[in-house]
Amino acid sequence: MRTGVANLPLHYGKAPRWLFQRMVQLARQVAIVIVEEKGPEEVLRRMADPFWFQAFGCVLGFDWHSSGVTTTVCGALKEGIKGLEKDLGLFVAGGKGKTSRQTPAQITAFGEAISLDPEPLVYASRMSAKVDSAAVQDGYQLYHHVFIFTAAGAWAVVQQGMNEANRYARRYHWLSDSVADLVCEPHSAVCCDSTGEPLNLVAEESAGARATIAEIVSQEKPEKLILDLKRLKSLSLPPRHEVRLEDINPERLDKIFLATYDRQPEDFEALLGLPGVGAKTLRALSLLSEIVHGVPASFRDPARFSFAHGGKDGYPYPVDRETYDKSVDLLRRAIGQAAIENSGKQEAEKRLAILENL
């Protein structure tokens, strides 16, 4: 079970140039040592571990509780291994803002360079982003997407969304080894301080809703779906319902329903992968699934099941210090064996000493 929360208050600005340059150097050395000792897949596993990721940010010298640790750590790793990707068998694509939209092209370029079919990786990147922006509707708008993969085709995703209303960020971790189904409990962790009742179509208990939604768009005429939505607009739903009818415009969904009916998606994953199928389409279909067909979707927030080792401040139980210390020890060994300049090594070890005393 993954459970617990982590504070990620939304901070603006970026790491100063003098610090980021050092972060890049240290991230490079840590990555090299991990690959040499354990292989490139180990880097994926650690980046998908929220505690290790946060500890890595501390070691690199970044503010431990800031939302900026996500973009900075990923950016330092990407910049750090630039030019060494083939030697390490490790590749980093994507980033923040406009750079995140370059992820497919970057994956394709790397794939062609090492004779690796990029299409499955591009698909995994695109679907992970669609899941966290449309299938999980939690109020956090994605603005950062990093896709890390190996020459063997294993992959990890670290992406983050922000909520301007509560000024918190939410980080989503994915690891290919633990993804049995892209649309059923696919995350290795979801990190956020604020929880609520989002529409969660990738929860295990949403299996019935996923099947019903796929059946609705394949079997029912688009005009009937639009008519049902117009009828629902007159209903008064219970206050707990986070799927709001006022956000749905049946007329604007007409073209989407026509397109999905023509394509006849065989299941929910195929539907989610179709162009134009986003948050509002799935919101409308989840309403039809629940109100018309009696099959509700889940409103469990995945951030309530985030960590395997407890949470800060002891909620719901204290952090597993043994596991946490193991992460610190792994970093210490990596730093001790890497060829880091003396000054950089001393600074890193000072930060580790501080981390151990927290």
pLDDT in tens, the chain (358 residues): 343 434 455 555 566 777 788 889 989 999 999 999 999 999 999 999 888 888 888 778 765 555 678 898 999 999 999 999 999 999 999 999 999 999 999 999 999 999 999 999 999 999 999 999 999 999 999 999 999 999 999 999 999 999 888 888 899 999 999 899 999 999 988 888 777 788 999 999 999 999 999 999 999 999 999 888 888 766 555 444 444 555 567 777 888 999 999 999 999 999 999 999 999 899 889 988 988 888 989 988 877 644 434 444 454 445 566 665 666 676 666 666 655 555 566 666 666 666 556 5
Q: Identify the pLDDT of residue 58.
A: 78
| Residues facing residue 170 across a β-bridge | 161
Q: Identify the pLDDT of residue 166.
A: 81
The reply to whether 80 and 176 lie within a common domain is: yes
Model pLDDT for residues 224-281, shown as the tens digit of each residue = 998 888 887 665 554 444 445 555 677 778 889 999 999 999 999 999 999 999 998 9
The reply to whether 63 and 91 lie within a common domain is: yes
Amino acid, single-letter form, for residue 299: F
Cβ atoms of 59 and 333 closer than 8 Å: no
Cβ atoms of 173 and 153 closer than 8 Å: no
Using the 8-state DSSP alphabet, how is residue 98 labeled?
A: G
Sign of the C-alpha dihedral, residues 293, 280, 242, 266?
positive
The reply to whether 279 and 326 lie within a common domain is: no
| C-alpha pair distances (Å), 185 with each of 121, 135, 199, 252 | 19, 11, 14, 30
Q: Identify the pLDDT of residue 192.
A: 81
3-state SS, residue 99: helix
* Boundary residue ending a domain (243, 262, 292): 292
Sign of the C-alpha dihedral, residues 135, 203, 301, 191?
negative
The reply to whether 260 and 315 lie within a common domain is: no
Tokens of 358: 């927290």
Whether 265 is in a domain gets the answer: yes
Model pLDDT for residues 85-101, shown as the tens digit of each residue = 999 999 999 999 999 99
For the chain, how many helices (H) and strands (E)? 14, 7
The reply to whether 30 and 156 lie within a common domain is: yes
3-state SS, residue 174: strand
The reply to whether 160 and 34 lie within a common domain is: yes
| C-alpha pair distances (Å), 312 with each of 63, 66, 101, 235, 293 | 16, 14, 33, 42, 41
Gap between the Cα atoms of 27 and 6, Å rounded: 23
The reply to whether 27 and 56 lie within a common domain is: yes
Structural domains counted in the chain: 2
Cβ atoms of 9 and 2 closer than 8 Å: no
The reply to whether 143 and 102 lie within a common domain is: yes
3-state SS, residue 235: coil
Whether 3 is in a domain gets the answer: no
Gap between the Cα atoms of 234 and 69, Å rounded: 45
3-state SS, residue 48: coil
Domain hosting 61: range is 17-196+303-356
Gap between the Cα atoms of 40 and 339, Å rounded: 18
Q: What are phi and psi of 13, to 5 degrees?
A: 90, -175
Cβ atoms of 317 and 17 closer than 8 Å: no
Gap between the Cα atoms of 249 and 230, Å rounded: 9
Q: Identify the pLDDT of residue 315.
A: 43
Whether 12 is in a domain gets the answer: no
The reply to whether 228 and 335 lie within a common domain is: no
* Boundary residue ending a domain (292, 313, 333): 292
Q: Identify the pLDDT of residue 312.
A: 44
The reply to whether 135 and 151 lie within a common domain is: yes
Q: Identify the pLDDT of residue 239.
A: 47
Cβ atoms of 107 and 134 closer than 8 Å: no
